[in-house]
Amino acid sequence: MNPLALNEPGRTILAMGNDAIVRGGLEAALGYFSTYPGTPASEIGEGYLALKKEFPHIHAEFSVNEHVAAHGAQGASWAGVRSMVTMKHVGMNVAAEVLHFAGYTGVRAGLVVVIGSDPGATSSTSEQDDRWYSLHTHLPILEPSSIQEAKDFTARAFELSERYNLPVIVNAPSKLCHNIGSLRLGALPAVFPAGGRFERNPTRYINLFGGSVANHRRAMEAVENLRGDAPTLGLNRVLEGSGRIGFISSSVNYLYLIEALSLLGIMDAPVLKIGMSYPLNAGEIASFAAELERVYVVEDLEGFIEFQAKRLLYDSGIRVPVVGKDVFPAYGELDVDLIAERLSDELRAPLPSRMTRAIGLSGKLAGDLPPRQGAFCTGCPHRATLYSIVKATDRNAVFAGDIGCYTLSCLPPFRAFDWVTCMNCGVGIAQGMLQEIEGENVIAYVGDSTFFHSGIPGLINAVQQNANLVLVILDNKWVAMTGHQPSPTTDVALDGTRMHPVDIKGLLKSIGVSYVRTIRPFNIKASMAVIKEAIRVGRGVRVIIAEEECALQYGRRIARSPGDYEIYYQIDEERCQKCNECYIELGCPAIRREERVEGWRYYIEEATCLRCGACHDLCLNSAILKTEIRRSPAGTVGA
């Protein structure tokens, strides 16, 4: 049984931070869930979809984008059903329009917005601090520190949302979303509400003219009510101490801070743990800080709590120095070591010798190691497509990047990727740039999910402005980058269920793209010919659909084990000219170099090779041999 479905209050299970958020929603009798996948929050959606059997009444979906997902959750809330919408931090940019209005109109049933933030941008194109949105959206923010709080705060957020009539945000950084540890379960509700019903509320839902002004005032008053109640909610607490230097901290950084103080031997510092970082209560901050000599604020990114605390203390007439981003960087990710090192300097407290030794040795002995920058998986169709594009263009084009697995084409060996910012930055930026440059070939990339997320308007604009570009839609049928959530083009689910895929070609035709070609990426020579032809045409919007399912999902779907293959690819040593086309230019990890006494050779690692056949097709020396050892109706991998 899925441990998240256990109704055994008090029992401890192993859970990821994201699982704990799922469980928090269950304990709060959530009825509607929507999301657009994005690291680090993707597993929340997978969690709800995996619970369909145990909780069939909960609607859970991967929506087409965050804007649509947020609207869906708002609709469910207005129908009287507790709803949750989740996204990564940059998803908030897309959902922001909806959520600004959701603050004005308020909720009916609780509406909880979970944001997976990514300080350090380990899986993102940006590390923006979404908390600042709340200064104008008026949405309260809870910041859990631990896996346990991830569950407890999520459940609590529904209650606060209803009591104060505002959507409530739960902000969880990647190091909490992907923290795995003990979680003590609470009780599941005896009864889950059955369905919803819309009740008209024109003074709030018709957010127009003066009604909009009234709603604005209502939202701000709701925030002030919550601000007044903050000290009574139990979300913020003080770790008492007799020291004169105090600390304010939130989220995972609270636990890092406690550990850093312990490493420095500072065991008497008072610490105000902030569980709700917006709104903050002046009295609560003032009574903590009033008698202290100095207060450090330890938080990720841009000093949201520090900014508020300084203002609130000023208004309270308290002149305690508050130090935050002058000491702890406003960019990147904080951790125990960084906090301990900065506090060691500030407070003249030595780091333990165990730490200084490890840091010193590591700098000396491990500072010069070759980096690992990531690469396409073995058997990935994107690798084959990128190889064909690089060879067909000789990199003589402007390459308009976008967000997905194919973003890896900015790295060696391809390096055919000139920018990446937000979703739809490829065709979007390219069609504007083309008004200013002439005579350049422009090749834009977009994955299937990114295309449906927000790429269609950019393409329509490109068609209307008659931009001269080639758009390659890398249709691998899944949102692969974030862990293989379904995309609008998924045609067969992992369990074999037939889906209802969107017809990309029909869509392209209807928006006026007349030049559409399809390639099967593993057929390298044929793909190169199609790409060259599209470039040669030279005018208008030309779309090439590179159609091949993600190799990992294909493998999982047919549960293929290495012993099941009927095709083998081997490098014939006699014929191999060591020209490096397969090993370096294609860069497949299954092709390896072996040093031997009799001289080195390239070979294909059988246990790793997924039999895509790209190397076989591209080898100009016919040195990669294909052997079929038996025929079976199950078919073969790839084209």
Partner 1 sequence: MISYDILICGIGGQGAISLGTVLKLAAIHEGLDVVGAERRGGAQREGIVTSNVRYRKLENGEVADERRAPASGLIPAGGADMMISMEPMEALRHGRWLNENSVVIVNDFPLTPVSVRIGEREYPPLETVVTRLREFTAGVHVFPIDELSRRNFNSLRQVNTIALGMASALGSLPVSDESILSVVRGQFPDFETNREAFALGKRTALG
In the complex, what is the shortest distance from the CB of residue 219 to partner 1, in angstroms, rounded to a whole number?
Answer: 35
Backbone angles phi, psi at 602, to 5 degrees: -95, 145
- By beta-carbon proximity to partner 1, the closer residue of 148 and 489 is 148
CA count, 13 A, side-chain hemisphere, 322: 24
Q: What does the alpha-carbon distance between residue 301 and residue 89 come to, in Å, rounded to a whole number?
A: 13
Q: How many CB atoms lie within 10 A of CB 364?
A: 9
In the complex, what is the shortest distance from the CB of residue 222 to partner 1, in angstroms, rounded to a whole number?
Answer: 33
In the complex, what is the shortest distance from the CB of residue 128 to partner 1, in angstroms, rounded to a whole number?
Answer: 17
- By beta-carbon proximity to partner 1, the closer residue of 412 and 457 is 412
Q: What does the alpha-carbon distance between residue 72 and residue 59 come to, in Å, rounded to a whole number?
A: 11
In the complex, what is the shortest distance from the CB of residue 578 to partner 1, in angstroms, rounded to a whole number?
Answer: 13
- By beta-carbon proximity to partner 1, the closer residue of 413 and 432 is 413
In the complex, what is the shortest distance from the CB of residue 500 to partner 1, in angstroms, rounded to a whole number?
Answer: 28
Q: What does the alpha-carbon distance between residue 502 and residue 220 come to, in Å, rounded to a whole number?
A: 42
Q: Exposure of 347 by Cβ count < 10 A (0-12 exposed, 13-18 middle, 19+ buried)?
A: middle
Binding site for partner 1 (CB under 8 A): 12-14, 39, 122-123, 146-147, 174-176, 178-182, 239, 252, 255-256, 258-263, 267, 335-337, 340, 352, 354-355, 357-359, 361-362, 365-366, 369-377, 405, 408, 411-413, 552, 562, 583-584, 587, 589, 592-593, 607
Distance of CA 509 to the CA centre of its chain: 32
- By beta-carbon proximity to partner 1, the closer residue of 123 and 287 is 123
In the complex, what is the shortest distance from the CB of residue 127 to partner 1, in angstroms, rounded to a whole number?
Answer: 13
Q: What does the alpha-carbon distance between residue 336 and residue 225 come to, in Å, rounded to a whole number?
A: 36
Strand segments, DSSP code E, in 89-149 are 111-117, 141-142
Closest CA to 131 of 162, 167, 101, 170: 170
- By beta-carbon proximity to partner 1, the closer residue of 205 and 583 is 583
In the complex, what is the shortest distance from the CB of residue 589 to partner 1, in angstroms, rounded to a whole number?
Answer: 6
- By beta-carbon proximity to partner 1, the closer residue of 138 and 383 is 383
428, containing H or E segment: helix 425-433
In the complex, what is the shortest distance from the CB of residue 17 to partner 1, in angstroms, rounded to a whole number?
Answer: 9
- By beta-carbon proximity to partner 1, the closer residue of 266 and 526 is 266
- By beta-carbon proximity to partner 1, the closer residue of 399 and 414 is 414
Distances (CA, A) of 123 to 310, 335, 346, 407, 638: 32, 17, 32, 11, 29
Q: What does the alpha-carbon distance between residue 390 and residue 228 come to, in Å, rounded to a whole number?
A: 61
Closest CA to 404 of 378, 376, 372: 376
**Cβ-contact 318, 295 below 8 angstroms:** no
